[in-house]
Amino acid sequence: MKQAFRYKNIFMYASLQFCGHIEEYFASHTEKLVVFIVMPRLKNRGNLVRVYKSGKLIEEKNVWSSDNIFFYYISWYFHYLKFIFSYFSRKERFIVLSGHPISFLGMTLQRLLRKITFVYWVGDYFPPTNKLLYWYEKLKKYYHTKVTLRYYLSEGINQQINGRVIEDATHRTIMWGVKPVSLVRSDPKSNLTLLFVGLIKHGQGLEKLFVFLRTHKEFSLKIIGICNDELFSKYKNIVTKYHIAKQVFFPNTFYSDEELIELAKSCHIGIALYDISPLSSAYYTDPGKIKSYAEMNLPVIMSNTSSIAPFIRKFHAGQLISEKPEDLVKAIEKITKDYFRYLEGLKKFNAFFYFETYYKRAFVALEKRNW
C-alpha cells in the first residue's frame, strides 16, 4: 500500500549542528524534499545539498562555500537559486521554508518562474544597537510582510516583529523540537562534569565558568563547539593562568551528533550562560543548546533569559540563575542534591517538545496542497 505523505514538495535549510530535527521530520513526511545545509561562516569549507524522495535519501552533494563574508553569501544565494530551479519543475508547486531573508531576494521573479509558496520561519531578533543591525531587522520585517506563512522560533521574536503575540495556523510560534536519547544518568556524587555546547563567542559566560573551576577543583568542564583563533587563544591563556587545564576539555572542533552523544555520557549538567540584557539576541530566541541538553537527559543551568526559560521552570528541568557568581554554585548544589527529580522533569519537558507530535501540530498549514 502506498504511503500517504503529510507534505508534497518542500525546499528547506538545515545545519549539521543541532537544529531541532527539522530535516529528519520533513524527510519522513514529505514526498519530495530538498535540503540545503548551510554551515556557519566561521571556518566554513563547504555546504551540502540532500534530496529525499518518499522518505529516502537519494542524493547528497558537496556545495562550495567560503569563510569570506562576500563569497559566503554570494555562494549561498547562487546555489539556492540553482537548486530551486533544477530540482523543481515549472509545473510543481512547492514550499520554500527559510529563516533568512536571502531566500526572498527577487521573490517576485522567483514566483514568475516557479510555483513557490514562501514560508518565513524567523529564528532570531537582533536589537538594532548599530546601523547594520537596524537595516537587517528592517529587511527582515519587509520580507516578513510579503510572505504568506510566517512562523517564529519564540514568543519573544513573535512579539517583537508583530507588536503582540500572534497565534493561528499560518502565523504562530514554533520552537525547536526534541528527540530524546536514552542515556542513563547516575547520581553525581563527585567528579561532576559540566557540558557546554554551541558556536562559541563572547557573552556566553565561559569566563565565569573558568573562574568557578579555579575554586572548585572537584568539577570539570567540556566545551564542544568552534570559535575564531583569537578567542580560542584568549580562553586557552585563561585556562593556563588559572591552572585548570586538567579540568577543561576544549578541542575547538565540530562534533557530529553521534560524537556529542557519546561524550555526553560522562557529563551531568548542561550549562548555558547568557547576557540577560534585552539588548542581547539570546533574550528573544529559543537557544538550540537548551534542547540539545534536554534530549541528552542533562539537567540545565541557564541564565534567566530567553523564551525557553519559562518551560525549564515549568517542567523542573533545570535551574535558572542570575548573573551573581554565587547563583551558579547554588544551582549546581540544588541539582546534585535532587538529581533524579530533575531527570523526571526532563522527561516531561521532552514529551511536550517531542518533535514528531509537536511539529505535526505546529506545521499543519503546510499540509495544504494548493497554496
pLDDT given at position 282: 86
Residue type, 92: E
Does residue 161 surpass a pLDDT of 80? yes
For residue 188, tell me if it sits in a domain. Answer: no
- What are residue 193's phi and psi, to 5 degrees? -115, 130
Same domain, 151 and 248: no
For residue 244, tell me if it sits in a domain. Answer: yes
Residue whose entry in the numeric block shows the C-alpha cell 546601523: 131
- CATH number of 55's domain: 3.40.50.2000
Same domain, 344 and 222: yes
Same domain, 255 and 145: no
Give me the half-sphere count of Cα atoms (radius 13 Å) on the Cβ side of residue 223.
23
The DSSP-derived string for 30-41 is: EEEEEEEE---S
Does residue 310 surpass a pLDDT of 90? yes
Same domain, 162 and 282: no
Give me the half-sphere count of Cα atoms (radius 13 Å) on the Cβ side of residue 115.
12
Same domain, 173 and 218: no
What tens digit of pLDDT does each residue of 75-130 get?
999 999 999 999 999 999 999 999 999 999 999 999 999 999 999 999 999 999 99
For residue 66, tell me if it sits in a domain. Answer: yes
Please name which of 257, 255, 202 lies closest in space to residue 228, comparing C-alpha atoms.
202
Same domain, 202 and 327: yes
Q: Residue 32 and residue 370: Cα distance in Å, rounded?
A: 16
C-beta atoms surrounding 112 within 10 Å:
9
Average pLDDT over residues 298-305: 94
Average pLDDT over residues 221-249: 94
C-alpha grid cell, residue 323: 548573573
Does residue 1 surpass a pLDDT of 60? no
Same domain, 228 and 159: no
Contacts of 126 (CB under 8 A, 6+ apart): 133, 136, 137, 281
Q: Residue 115 and residue 11: Cα distance in Å, rounded?
A: 12
Domain that holds residue 49: 7-177+354-367
pLDDT category at 199 given cuts 50, 70, 90 is: confident
Same domain, 204 and 294: yes
Sign of CA dihedral 310, 314, 317, 320: positive
Same domain, 120 and 160: yes
Same domain, 132 and 273: no
Distance of CA 167 to the CA centre of its chain: 21
Does residue 18 surpass a pLDDT of 90? no
Same domain, 239 and 346: yes
pLDDT category at 43 given cuts 50, 70, 90 is: low
Contacts of 41 (CB under 8 A, 6+ apart): 67, 69, 72
Average pLDDT over residues 162-176: 93
For residue 183, tell me if it sits in a domain. Answer: no
Q: Residue 272 and residue 324: Cα distance in Å, rounded?
A: 15
Same domain, 171 and 199: no
pLDDT category at 203 given cuts 50, 70, 90 is: confident
pLDDT category at 279 given cuts 50, 70, 90 is: confident
For residue 2, tell me if it sits in a domain. Answer: no
For residue 185, tell me if it sits in a domain. Answer: no
For residue 34, tell me if it sits in a domain. Answer: yes
Total of domains in the chain: 2
For residue 106, tell me if it sits in a domain. Answer: yes
